[in-house]
Amino acid sequence: MKKLQFTIQINAPREKVWEALWNDQNYREWTSVFHEGSYYESDLQEGSEILFLSPGENGMFGVVEKMIPFEKMYFKHKGEVHSGEKQQATYGNEAIEQYDLTETDGKTELTATMNAPEEYIPFFAEVFPKALEKVKEIAEK
């Protein structure tokens, strides 16, 4: 796995950026850049399970490792989901996805950090910045 990090400046307070990221409808909008119809199932509370799914109930499962409202949302991915069935946990402790929000003078810096398998690096390097641009667009409305 290789660590990837993406940062974007958003002209909105962190509460609006948080809403852009985690409100169900907004999440579906910005993650459509990765896969049309993407959604999550979770209460987003620290320690809770989360399913990241696409149509057909395929995707990943994991746990909300840290959640500080308007500041941090950290996930640890555990394994894959196929047709709604969780597969055996296949990801080690390195499979992370983290979102950090820092506000200064009403503007928010959003940093997304993840560890990605080598074969997915070109995809994420191209698509993740587009997804963050979508978050920015939603938050700045």
pTM above 0.75, yes or no: yes
Domains in the chain: ranges and CATH: 2-139 (3.30.530.20)
| Share above pLDDT 90 across residues of the chain, in percent, rounded to a whole number | 87
Please state the rounded mean pLDDT for residues 79-96. Answer: 86
Q: Which two tokens stand for residue 91?
A: 């990801």
Reply yes or no on whether the pLDDT at 69 is more than 80.
yes
Q: How far apart, in Å, do the first and last CA atoms of the chain sit?
A: 36
